[in-house]
Amino acid sequence: MTEILLLICAYLIGSVPTAVWVSKGIFGMDIREYGSGNAGATNTFRVLGPKAGTFVMVVDMLKGVLAVRLAYLAAYYHDPEHLTQLVNLQIGLGLAAVVGHIFPIWANFKGGKGIATLFGLVLAIQPLVALCCVGVFLMILFLTRYVSLSSIIASIAFPILILYIFNEPEIFYRIFAIAVALMVVLTHQKNITRLLKGVESKVPLFKNRKGKN
């Protein structure tokens, strides 16, 4: 019962529609009516500029971190002997937050793709791996200014880091890493098509702008 309540709380945390609230509260518009139509950091970068995009990305990441931290509210998982179960619960809570981000109850179940929240999940469980993924993301973003391409490559780097660099022994976490990469690639199919056609939008890294529909 405790785990179910924690999963519900994690979903509600993930459901906080950061991009929607920022776009409506500060810019007087609904981010879902512009750009790609997603209520996530990538579309916020593209439509509202780097300042708003960075803020949304950080908050969405924190949603994943906070959701994972909920696991410590369950006394059973405080025992070092239950470390594997703790990690499994943390992943489950993080994924519940990602689902909340994609299908937010506070925004008519129309949210973003969950990449930033997913990163927050990884950051809370394995900070060093997360920082490596951030390095990959920022490098690709600086070189190309494509947030979507940066997200895709960073997600592919994730299982490579887990399986070969850090050699994570926990089988569930290894499966999770592979699933994350596949999920990100699948949810970015339209972006991949636009990248191949050369029509994907780049983000303005050094200036703020408001996009148009």
Q: What is the structure's pLDDT at 202?
A: 84
pLDDT, tens digit, for every residue of 36-66? 888 998 889 889 988 999 999 999 999 999 9
Q: What is the structure's pLDDT at 210?
A: 47
Cα 142 from Cα 154, distance rounded (Å): 13
pLDDT, tens digit, for every residue of 158-210? 999 999 999 888 888 899 999 999 989 998 898 899 999 999 888 766 554 44
Tell me the mean pLDDT in the region 123-141.
Answer: 93
* Whole-number Cα distances in Å, 17 to 40, 147, 202: 8, 19, 23
- Eight-class DSSP state of 17: -
Query: In the predicted model, what is the mean pLDDT of the chain?
Result: 90
In the chain, domain spans: 1-125, 126-202
Q: What is the structure's pLDDT at 207?
A: 54
Instruction: For the chain, give the percent of residues with pLDDT over 90.
Output: 66
